[in-house]
Amino acid sequence: MEKPPWDQQVARVMVRPLVRTPITPNMLTVATAVIALAGAGLFVPGDAYLANWGAGLFVLARFGDHFDGELARQSGKTSKLGYYLDYISGAVSYAALFFCLGLGFMDSALGNWAIVLGLAGAASALISMFLNLGIDQAQDLKDGDAVGYPGFAGFELEDGIYLIAPITWGGYLLEFFTAAGIGAAVYTLWSLATLLRLRKNNQ
């Protein structure tokens, strides 16, 4: 997209008070990862009340994921460590979400297939991380920039994760889990195709 997505623009404004504080981008990355993992863990018991809190925490963490990059740019603290840490944090967060949802839905209509779907989603998240790192390298991106996600009208594909909160609160988490697991696999295949195309063009 020509302009940053809406959530990133909001984060850009909200992070300004932190520019002259001791808080570093990597601190924010670790903090959002911890919140995301806590949110994911609340899905494991399969309890609707805990799942509602888990969804809210996970959405908060994914919105907060924009803060570290914005703080790094505004404070001039971009680094290779932060670049890789951000990728790892995102991949591990999504992998944990899928895995924990799979555990939480073992007693649902999916049965053991919930674990299969959860593992597939987790694997897709981790594989996509390496594919996106390869895409960044193939595009020769500088200054810690990342490839980003396909987007339109101020929204990225990744922004779909925000829907997990209202969908969970509305009682449709199982359907979301199923669709997201399939979508994660499709995104991984798209990333692979993109990487192969870029490498072919660079030959």
In CATH, what number is assigned to the domain containing residue 143?
Answer: 1.20.120.1760
- Residue 1 in any domain: the answer is no
Output Rg (C-alpha) for the chain, integer angstroms: 17
Q: What is the model's pTM?
A: 0.89
pLDDT at 31: 96
pLDDT at 5: 78
Listed range (70-84, 131-145, 156-170) with the worst mean pLDDT: 131-145
DSSP assignment string, 120-171 = HHHHHHHHHHHHHHHHHHHHT--TT------EETTEEGGGGGGGHHHHHHTT
Q: How confident is the model at residue 22 (pLDDT cuts 50, 70, 90)?
A: very high
Average pLDDT of span 150-164: 73
pLDDT digits (tens, 9 = 90+) for 25-73: 999 999 999 999 999 999 999 999 999 999 999 999 999 988 998 999 9
Burial of 100 (0-12, 13-18, 19+ CB in 10 A): buried
**Nearest in space to 128 (alpha carbons), one of 171, 191, 82, 83:** 191
Q: How confident is the model at residue 143 (pLDDT cuts 50, 70, 90)?
A: very low
Q: Whole-number mean pLDDT of the chain?
A: 89
In our burial notation (b when 16+ CB lie closer than 10 A, e otherwise), range 6-40 reads ebbeebbeebeebeeeebbbbebbebbbebbbebb
> Domain tally for the chain?
1
Task: Quote the domain boundaries for residue 84.
Answer: 6-202
Asked whether the predicted pLDDT for residue 1 surpasses 70, the reply is no
pLDDT at 178: 94
pLDDT digits (tens, 9 = 90+) for 89-139: 999 999 999 999 999 999 999 999 999 999 999 999 999 999 999 998 888
pLDDT at 153: 54
pLDDT at 38: 98
- Residue 101 in any domain: the answer is yes
- Residue 180 in any domain: the answer is yes
- Residue 136 in any domain: the answer is yes
- Residue 56 in any domain: the answer is yes
* Residue whose structure tokens are 């890789």: 84
- Residue 168 in any domain: the answer is yes
- Residue 170 in any domain: the answer is yes
Listed range (18-22, 72-76, 82-86, 143-147) with the worst mean pLDDT: 143-147
Tokens representing 192 are 């692979």
- Residue 190 in any domain: the answer is yes
